[in-house]
Amino acid sequence: MPKFDSLLFENGFAVGSTQYSDHYPGYESQNHIVIPLAPSQDKSMSIRAIVDTGAKWCIIHPDIAQDWEKHFFHAYDSNQPMIIRGIKFERGKIAHANVVLNASSGEDLIIEARFFIPELSPDQIWSFPNFIGLDGLLNFIRYAIDPSENTIYFGKI
Amino acid sequence: METTEKILGQAVNSQRTLRGLQPFVELDGEPQQKLFEAGIASQSTRKQEAKFEPFETAIAEKDYQKFDRLIKGLDLSDYQPAEITALIDLCLSLDMISAAFDLSTKARDLYPRHAKIESAYKALSPPKFIGTRLPQAAGLEKSQAWFKEKASYYKGKWVAVNNGSLLAEADSLKELKNKIDENSMNPSTVIEKIF
């Protein structure tokens, strides 16, 4: 059991915790905090995403976004080009989805998160990790990191 | 944790500025047509250009605080819905999400039945807590370890990992899902494209 589970669960800061990975495949030269998450509906498989306080949106691989289509709601098509990870996307949409931060200890946390879903042009290939961004999710939960145990604690505000 | 820009090591602000100017200056040499397509053309495009000029200037000067102040102090009663959604899109292209949300909130009061404004308002509404539940995924630590140790052998592939074991690999997500047993379609299974 992670060292601070009792403390953080009992004082209401967190409802759950899970172990994170330091690395994302293909980006091993950089340290990240990679955690699992999934759509809240049953039979939905998990993905892994980087906890990124430098990212605005939650962004997932476009193929996964397509697979998650039934989970998205409140969609809005933006007519302005947007630059994500230094790459220009002529179009994209903003949408919400209920996602679960999977707990290994305590309880899962379900959040209505905000995603940016880029629309790739035929010559564009997606080669980025999945990200959990600040305005897309992180700013709306409590979380704490314990690097000594690679543990992330999360809870509701 | 601030990794977004580090990944590609590219500054994007200069491109962002130009992009922000596009709808009001020129798009592909056909400004009038594009303005019509964007739904913001009227009998007096010049008047509209004047309306948007302060925003263009703020972007050209890279003075995003000024842009934010202009947006927040804007009297929308002189703006048509299509003009407002163009401004919302412009805010989004500048990553000014809260400004875009503020605009959509004000616009919604002004044009309560306008579908695009309503969809912008809903999409830009902040994330919210839905609930908690007992954990439904098992073996995620083992699967995390699998990705750390084994993922590099599967570069370019989609993989599905459950409880630290590889369930399937494929060239596409669709193909991968076809290979996964119905019983394994649950949060304990982690799917990922390996780069």
Q: B169 near B181, Cβ under 8 Å?
A: no
pLDDT of residue B10: 32
Q: Which residues contact B131 (CB under 8 A, 6 or more apart)?
A: A110
- CA dihedral of B155, A41, A96, B148, whole degrees rounded to 10: -20
Share above pLDDT 70 across residues of chain A, in percent, rounded to a whole number: 100
A71 interfacial to chain B (CB closer than 8 Å): no
> What's the mean per-residue pLDDT of chain A?
94
Indicate the domain borders of chain A: 22-156
pLDDT of residue B38: 52
Say how many CB pairs under 8 Å bridge A and B: 221
Judged against a pLDDT cut of 90, whether residue B47 lies above it is answered with no
Which chain B residue is nearest to residue A59, measuring alpha carbons? B4
pLDDT of residue A43: 83
pTM metric for this prediction: 0.85
- CA dihedral of A52, A56, A61, A64, whole degrees rounded to 10: 100
- The pLDDT tens digits of the residues spanning B75-94 come to 999 899 999 999 999 999 88
With contacts defined as CB-CB under 8 Å, which chain A residues touch B19? 80-83, 88
The confidence band for A154, taking pLDDT boundaries of 50, 70 and 90, is very high
* Contact state of A78 with B89 under an 8 Å Cβ cutoff: yes
pLDDT of residue B36: 47
pLDDT of residue B43: 52
> Within 13 A of B118's CA, how many CA atoms are on the CB side?
6
Residue A102 has its nearest CB partner, among B6, B120, B137, at B137
The confidence band for B105, taking pLDDT boundaries of 50, 70 and 90, is very high
- The pLDDT tens digits of the residues spanning A38-86 come to 999 978 999 999 999 988 999 999 999 999 999 999 999 988 888 777 7
Distances (CA, A) of B5 to A54, A113, A133, B43, B110: 8, 22, 13, 42, 38
pLDDT of residue B51: 83
Mean pLDDT to the nearest integer, B129-144: 97
Chain A 2-21, residues with CB within 8 Å of chain B CB atoms: 15-16, 18-21
Strand stretches in chain B, DSSP E: 128-133, 158-162, 165-170, 189-193
Highest mean predicted confidence (pLDDT) among A12-26, A69-83, B2-16, B44-58: A12-26
User: What's the rounded Cα separation, in Å, for the pair A41 and A25?
Assistant: 27
Judged against a pLDDT cut of 90, whether residue B1 lies above it is answered with no
Judged against a pLDDT cut of 70, whether residue A137 lies above it is answered with yes
* Contact state of A108 with B135 under an 8 Å Cβ cutoff: yes
* Contact state of B140 with A107 under an 8 Å Cβ cutoff: no
User: What's the rounded Cα separation, in Å, for the pair A17 and B138?
Assistant: 13
A44 backbone dihedrals φ, ψ, rounded to 5°: -90, 130
Pair of tokens at residue A144: 């704490």
User: What's the rounded Cα separation, in Å, for the pair B133 and B139?
Assistant: 17
User: What's the rounded Cα separation, in Å, for the pair A48 and A66?
Assistant: 16
CATH hierarchy code of domain A22-156:
2.40.70.10
The confidence band for A30, taking pLDDT boundaries of 50, 70 and 90, is confident
Burial class (CB in 10 A: 0-12, 13-18, 19+), A63: middle
Judged against a pLDDT cut of 70, whether residue B42 lies above it is answered with no
Mean pLDDT to the nearest integer, A103-109: 97
Q: Cα B37 to chain center, whole Å? A: 21
Q: How far is B168 from chain A (nearest CA, A)?
A: 13
Of the candidates A65, A9, A146, A82, which has an alpha carbon nearest to the alpha carbon of residue B100?
Answer: A82
Share above pLDDT 70 across residues of chain B, in percent, rounded to a whole number: 76
Chain B 46-75, residues with CB within 8 Å of chain A CB atoms: none
The confidence band for B183, taking pLDDT boundaries of 50, 70 and 90, is very high
Burial class (CB in 10 A: 0-12, 13-18, 19+), B192: buried
> What's the mean per-residue pLDDT of chain B?
82
Mean pLDDT to the nearest integer, A100-123: 95
Sheet holding A141-146, edge to edge: A105-106, A16-19, A151-156, A141-146
pLDDT of residue B39: 52
Could you tell me if residue A5 is left (phi over 0), alpha (psi between -120 and 50 degrees) or otherwise beta? alpha
Chain B 26-45, residues with CB within 8 Å of chain A CB atoms: 38
Helix (H) or strand (E) holding B51: helix B45-60
Mean pLDDT to the nearest integer, A86-99: 90
Of the candidates A147, A96, A18, A102, which has an alpha carbon nearest to the alpha carbon of residue B190?
Answer: A102
pLDDT of residue A65: 96
- Neighbouring CB atoms inside 10 A of B79's CB total 22
B135 interfacial to chain A (CB closer than 8 Å): yes
User: What's the rounded Cα separation, in Å, for the pair B134 and B116?
Assistant: 38
